[in-house]
């Protein structure tokens, strides 16, 4: 959204303590109960149970075909569950047609009515409700103000830019004050800069109006930016439902670790388990791998450990007396990203580890170059033992 | 290749349709216009003056001064001709309205059918065109006559006790026109409905519109250009229709196409026939211009 950098607005903090999912007494607004969706033999949704709370900004994240859109369309009423049920504010939604659900959706294509002006598009749902004329006018004006489109009410969709159309679609889906707003890849058609800006504005908007937002996206950065909680999906199943930080720092599976962010997956065998930490012998490392993490795994079990590249320290200087959590190798690839560089390090035993380093100085000459011999090390809390 | 040569080529391609229109529309029209301004004469050809460009300026100017609007004032002053125009416009309008009512559901059904089935269904709509137009109109005589298929069927079903007189009425003319112009209505409607984004209907449903409300508030207005295109494609030729009123119409049917034919062939008054033809064109210019405007707006939208 083309709002100037908010100099005039008083900067509001977006941070807040909001975690109704942690409160066992909290009543969810939306509840998926063992939902299954089949198309013939194909299982699109495979036994999903999920609670979403009021005022939550919830993201459904996954690759295309993982079922995230189907799950959202069930809430909108465009798809019916083959098994299980979808409950909204205590009432079962099965059999309720889309036009009777207190849920509105912003479509990926925006689906603006081409024959109607911006104002008529926004007023469509209100006219459907037979709201009095003056109230409609007031609500349309309020919505235009909300998305910064005042002065555009008489334009037709084809006379707007992509970003403006996106905002009309948003205003139209919010006009009826739905209990839940569904956003289907809302920023897919925007360029990167505009997308980032829009993400923040969407969060801000959600905070102000307090509506429950559910966003479907395949963009993990987008999900992490906007959402309170993320559900990572694969093949119609929920793999992990957690806050962005938990998803990133404590992925419960190899799938989640690899889907969200960059990661080194280290295969290892458990050698020792204590109440506070786990020691492993990795195939790719000569040194021991130590984790300050408890596990149910027993000695001898094969497991996988996720290690994020930015948690690995990379240096040319030799390490001082360490026996664990280290490796040596030669740099064979550098991805220079400006803010940081990703080094691909060929270990002496043939394996490859990725390490990231923030570019703190403004040197043009890289401090670590191709073919440099480097030492890698990390702390015992850097790695995560994956369950599957 | 030089830019100049390419621009010569592009000028030629742009000029082609204009040359075509000049040769096969403008020139004949100017001839008809000239005849409409002439007087009848017992001669070959049956009007005067006849221009001969070899006679020199003075003769040409004299002959030009003989042209006048006499035929137009005659035509417009005679109630019979005006009535003929009115009837043509009325019958064409009724037929067009019926075509929209009949054609829309068909076009809608085809646009909603499985993708693979659509070409076959469209082919079925066009299929009658594979037979001669004249034969198909003749066939309607067999259907609509007193002893025709329709009356026999209704009698045997007990829906009527007396055979209806349909043939040789304006109703038969309208039926014939609806039948004949059906593909011209269905094809543009289908084109408009087929390119409509289905998510528009989902959006309408999402915003509280029942399927029928979504149809009237979204589908119909979005397909309006198709309705207009189809209506004009049917209405314009229907106004000047000659074969259908001649074969299916009766004594009450006085559509302008038949009137022109009468003037031309029975009265041998080429000048009045030409004046009638020019007036049809003027009347039809209004819907043609509306169509042009709509097309221009549609282009801008893209």
Interface contact B199-A111, CB threshold 8 A: yes
Whether residues B202 and A98 touch (CB distance < 8 A) is answered with yes
Q: How far is CA B275 from CA A110, A282, B35, B43, in A?
A: 54, 99, 8, 19
Q: Cα–Cα distance between A68 and A88 in angstroms, integer?
A: 18
From residue B16, alpha-carbon distances to B3, B10, B20, B24, B27 in Å are 20, 10, 6, 12, 15
- In this complex, the residue of A104, A109, A128 whose CB is nearest that of residue B197 is A109
Kindly state whether residues A195 and A325 are assigned to the same domain. Answer: no
Structural tokens at position A161: 């830019």
The tokens for A369 are 């170059």
Cα–Cα distance for residue pair B11/B25, rounded to 1 Å: 21
CB contact under 8 A, A99 and B209: yes
CB-CB contact of B211 with B140 (8 Å): no
> Is A352 contained in some domain?
yes
Contact B209 A128 (CB under 8 A): yes
Positive or negative, the Cα torsion across B58, B61, B63, B65? negative
* B contact test, residue of A78, A98, A120 with most B CBs within 10 A: A98
Q: Is A123 on the interface with B (CB under 8 A)?
A: no
Task: Give the one of B197, B208, B302 whose C-beta lies nearest to A99's C-beta.
Answer: B208
What does the domain layout of chain B look like in residue ranges?
Answer: 77-301
Q: Tokens standing for A43?
A: 């299982």
Q: Which of B166, B88, B184, B181 is nearest to B133 (CA)?
A: B181
> pLDDT tens-digit profile of B199-215?
999 999 999 999 999 99
Assigned domain for A2 exists = no
- Measured in degrees and rounded to the nearest 5, phi and psi for residue B292 equal -55, -45
Chain A residue numbers touching B210 (CB-CB < 8 A) = 97, 99
Mean pLDDT by runs of 10 across the 388 residues of chain A is 47 67 91 95 94 96 94 95 94 94 95 95 95 96 93 94 94 95 93 90 91 95 95 96 95 94 92 89 88 84 93 87 84 91 91 92 82 92 85
Helical pair B118-126 and B170-194, crossing angle rounded to 10 deg: 160
B40, burial (CB in 10 Å: exposed 0-12, middle 13-18, buried 19+) = middle
Best residue of B201, B208, B300, B301 to probe chain A, by most A CBs closer than 10 Å: B208
Residue A131 forms contact with B (CB below 8 Å): no
Q: What is the pLDDT of residue A2?
A: 44
Count of domains forming chain A: 2
Chain B residue with minimum CA distance to A157: B301
Residues in chain A: 388
ipTM of the complex: 0.86
Nearest residue, CB atoms, B208 vs list A78, A105, A129: A129
Domain B77-301 has CATH 1.10.3720.10: yes
Average pLDDT over residues B77-106: 96
Determine the residue among A100, A104, A114 to mutate to test chain B binding: the one whose Cβ has the most chain B Cβ atoms within 10 Å: A114
CB contact under 8 A, B207 and A111: no
| Residues in B touching A115 (Cβ below 8 Å) | 221-222, 224
Q: A214 has which bridge partners?
A: A58, A182
A14 near A207, Cβ under 8 Å? Answer: yes
Both A228 and A370 in one domain: the answer is no
Do B209 and A107 make contact, defined as CB atoms within 8 angstroms? no
Q: What is the CATH number of the domain that holds A83?
A: 3.40.50.300
Q: How far is A328 from chain B (nearest CA, A)?
A: 56
Domain for residue A17, yes or no?
Answer: no
User: A146: which 2 tokens?
Assistant: 């909300």
**Cβ of A104 under 8 Å from any chain B Cβ?**
yes
Domain shared by A242 and A309, yes or no: no
User: Do A243 and A270 sit in the same domain of this protein?
Assistant: no
Q: Does the beta-carbon distance from B222 to A107 stay under 8 Å?
A: no
Give the span between the Cα atoms of B173 and B88, in whole angstroms. Answer: 11
- Residue A300 backbone phi and psi in degrees, to 5: 95, -15
**CB nearest to B205's CB, from A99, A112, A114:** A99
What is the radius of gyration, based on Cα positions, of chain B? 25
Closest Cα in chain B, distance from residue A324 (Å): 57
Residues 6+ apart with CB under 8 A from A276: A292, A294
Please give, rounded to a whole number of angstroms, the shortest distance from the CA of A227 to a CA of chain B.
Answer: 23
- Token output for B123: 């082919």
The domain that contains A318 carries what CATH number? 2.40.50.140
Distance CA A338, CA A333 (A): 15
Based on C-alpha coordinates, what's the Rg of chain A? 25
What is the DSSP secondary-structure string of B227-283? HHHHHHHHHHHHHT--HHHHHH--TT---HHHHHHIIIIIS--HHHHHHHHHHHHHH
pLDDT tops 60 at residue B272: yes
Distance CA B192, CA B181 (A): 18
Q: Which of A78, A115, A124 sits opposite B207 (nearest CB)?
A: A124
Secondary structure (DSSP) of B166-219: -TTSHHHHHHHHHHHHHHHHHHHHHHHHHTS-THHHHHHHHTT--HHHHIIIII
Same domain? A150 vs A297? no
Look at residue A4 in the predicted model and tell me its pLDDT: 44
Looking at the structure, tell me whether residues A117 and A209 fall in a common domain: yes
Using CA atoms, how far apart are residues B115 and B220, in angstroms rounded to an integer? 21
**What is the DSSP-derived secondary structure letter of residue A131?**
-
* Longest alpha-carbon distance in chain B: 80
B253 burial level (CB within 10 Å; 0-12, 13-18, 19+): buried
* From A187-201, B52-66, B170-184, the region with the lowest mean pLDDT: B52-66
The residue among B196, B207, B213, B302 with the most chain A CBs within 10 A of its CB, best to mutate, is: B207
Do the Cβ atoms of B283 and B267 come closer than 8 Å?
no
- Under a CB-based contact definition with an 8 Å cutoff, are residues A214 and A32 in contact? no
A24 touching B, CB under 8 A? no
B221 chain-A contacts, CB cut-off 8 A: 113, 115
C-alpha pair distances (Å), A110 with each of A147, B16, B123, B204: 15, 42, 34, 12
pLDDT attached to residue A3 = 46
Q: How far is A28 from chain B (nearest CA, A)?
A: 23
Does one domain contain both A139 and A114? Answer: yes
- Specify whether A100 is located in the same domain as A201: yes
> Are B202 and A114 a contacting pair at CB < 8 A?
no
pLDDT at B277 over 60: yes
Show which of A221, A255, A289 is a domain's final residue: A255
Q: Of B233, B302, B274, B271, which is closest to residue B28 (Cα–Cα)?
A: B274
- Per the CB < 8 Å rule, is B208 touching A77? no
- Condensed to tens digits (0 to 9), the pLDDT of residues B21-45 reads 999 999 999 999 999 999 888 888 8
Residue B61: the pLDDT is 86
Q: Encoding tokens for residue B131?
A: 């037979």
Question: How many interface pairs between A and B have CB atoms less than 8 angstroms apart?
Answer: 65
Q: Which domain holds residue A268?
A: 262-386
In contact, B48 and B75? CB cutoff 8 Å: no
Of B60-69, B134-143, B292-301, minimum mean pLDDT range: B292-301
Q: Which of B195, B200, B201, B203 should one mutate to test binding to chain A, selecting the residue with the greatest count of A CBs within 10 A?
A: B203
8 A C-beta contact, residue A279 and residue A325 = no
Q: Based on the fold, state whether residues A166 and A312 are members of the same structural domain.
A: no
Do A266 and A176 fall into the same domain? no
Is there a contact between B194 and B117 (Cβ–Cβ < 8 Å)? no
Last residue of a domain, one of A255, A271, A304: A255
Do A50 and A198 belong to one domain?
Answer: yes
Q: Do B208 and A128 touch (CB under 8 A)?
A: yes
- Name the strand (E) or helix (H) holding A143: helix A133-146
Q: Do B207 and A128 touch (CB under 8 A)?
A: yes
Structure tokens at A318: 């030799």
Which residues in chain B touch residue A113, judged by CB atoms under 8 angstroms apart?
200, 203-204, 218, 221-222
Q: How many CA atoms lie within 13 A of A357 on its CB side?
A: 23
Residue of A nearest to B224 (CA): A115
**Whether A72 contacts chain B with CB within 8 A:** no
Q: CA nearest A102: which of A70, A82, A129? A: A129
Give the N- to C-terminal CA distance of chain A in Å, as an integer. Answer: 41
């Amino acid at each position: 959204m083309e709002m100037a950098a908010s100099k005039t607005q008083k900067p509001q903090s977006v941070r807040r303590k909001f975690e109704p999912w942690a409160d066992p007494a909290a009543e969810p607004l939306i509840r998926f109960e063992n939902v299954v969706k089949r198309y013939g033999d194909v299982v699109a949704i495979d036994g999903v149970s999920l609670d979403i709370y009021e005022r939550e900004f919830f993201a459904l994240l996954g690759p295309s075909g993982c079922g995230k859109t189907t799950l959202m369309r069930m809430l909108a009423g465009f798809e019916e569950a083959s098994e299980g049920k979808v409950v909204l504010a205590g009432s079962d939604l099965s059999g309720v047609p889309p036009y009777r659900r207190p849920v509105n959706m912003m479509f990926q294509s925006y689906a603006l009515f081409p024959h109607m002006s911006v104002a008529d598009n926004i007023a469509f749902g209100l006219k459907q409700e037979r709201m009095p004329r003056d109230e409609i006018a007031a609500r349309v004006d309020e919505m235009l103000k909300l998305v910064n489109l005042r002065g555009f009410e008489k334009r037709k969709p084809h006379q707007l830019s992509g970003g403006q159309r996106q905002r009309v679609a948003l205003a139209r889906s919010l006009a009826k004050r739905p209990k839940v707003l569904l956003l289907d890849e809302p920023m897919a058609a925007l360029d990167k800069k505009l997308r980032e800006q829009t993400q923040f504005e969407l969060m801000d908007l959600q905070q102000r109006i307090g509506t429950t937002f559910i966003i479907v996206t395949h963009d993990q950065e987008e999900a992490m930016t906007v959402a309170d909680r993320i559900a990572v999906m694969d093949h119609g199943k929920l793999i992990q439902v957690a806050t962005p930080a938990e998803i990133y720092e404590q992925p419960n599976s190899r799938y989640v670790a690899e889907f969200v962010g960059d990661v080194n997956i280290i295969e290892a065998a458990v050698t020792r388990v204590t109440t506070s930490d786990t020691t492993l012998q990795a195939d790719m490392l000569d040194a021991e791998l130590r984790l300050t993490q408890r596990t149910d795994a027993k000695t001898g079990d094969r497991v996988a450990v996720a290690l994020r590249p930015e948690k690995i320290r990379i240096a040319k200087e030799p390490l001082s007396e360490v026996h664990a959590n280290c490796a040596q190798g030669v740099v064979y690839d550098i991805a220079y990203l400006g803010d940081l560089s990703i080094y691909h390090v060929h270990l002496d035993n043939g394996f490859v580890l990725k390490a990231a380093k923030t570019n703190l100085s403004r040197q043009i000459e890289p401090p670590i170059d191709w073919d440099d011999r480097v030492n890698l090390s990390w702390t015992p809390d850097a790695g995560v033992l994956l369950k599957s | 290749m030089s830019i100049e040569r390419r621009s010569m080529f592009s000028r030629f391609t742009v000029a082609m349709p204009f040359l075509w229109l000049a040769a096969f529309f403008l020139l004949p029209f100017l001839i008809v216009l000239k005849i409409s301004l002439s007087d009848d004469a017992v001669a070959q050809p049956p009007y005067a003056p006849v221009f001969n460009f070899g006679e020199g300026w003075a003769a040409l100017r004299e002959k030009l001064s003989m042209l006048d609007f006499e035929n137009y004032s005659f035509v417009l002053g005679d109630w019979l001709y005006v009535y003929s125009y009115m009837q043509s416009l009325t019958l064409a309008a009724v037929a067009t309205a019926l075509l929209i009512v009949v054609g829309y559901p068909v076009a809608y059904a085809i646009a909603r059918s499985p993708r693979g089935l659509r070409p076959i269904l469209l082919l079925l709509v066009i299929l009658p065109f594979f037979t001669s137009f004249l034969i198909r109109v003749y066939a309607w005589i067999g259907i609509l006559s007193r002893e025709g298929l329709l009356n026999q069927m209704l009698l045997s079903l007990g829906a009527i006790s007396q055979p209806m007189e349909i043939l040789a009425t304006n109703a038969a003319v309208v039926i014939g026109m609806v039948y004949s112009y059906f593909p011209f209505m269905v094809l543009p409607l289908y084109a408009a409905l087929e390119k409509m984004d289905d998510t528009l209907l989902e959006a309408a449903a999402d915003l509280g519109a029942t399927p029928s409300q979504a149809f009237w508030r979204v589908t119909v207005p979005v397909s309006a250009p198709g309705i207009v295109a189809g209506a004009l494609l049917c209405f314009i030729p229907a106004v000047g229709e000659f074969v259908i009123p001649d074969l299916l119409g009766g004594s009450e049917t006085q559509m302008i196409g038949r009137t022109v034919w009468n003037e031309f062939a029975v009265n041998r008054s080429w000048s009045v026939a030409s004046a009638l033809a020019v007036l049809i064109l003027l009347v039809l210019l209004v819907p043609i211009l509306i169509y042009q405007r709509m097309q221009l707006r549609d282009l801008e939208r893209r």
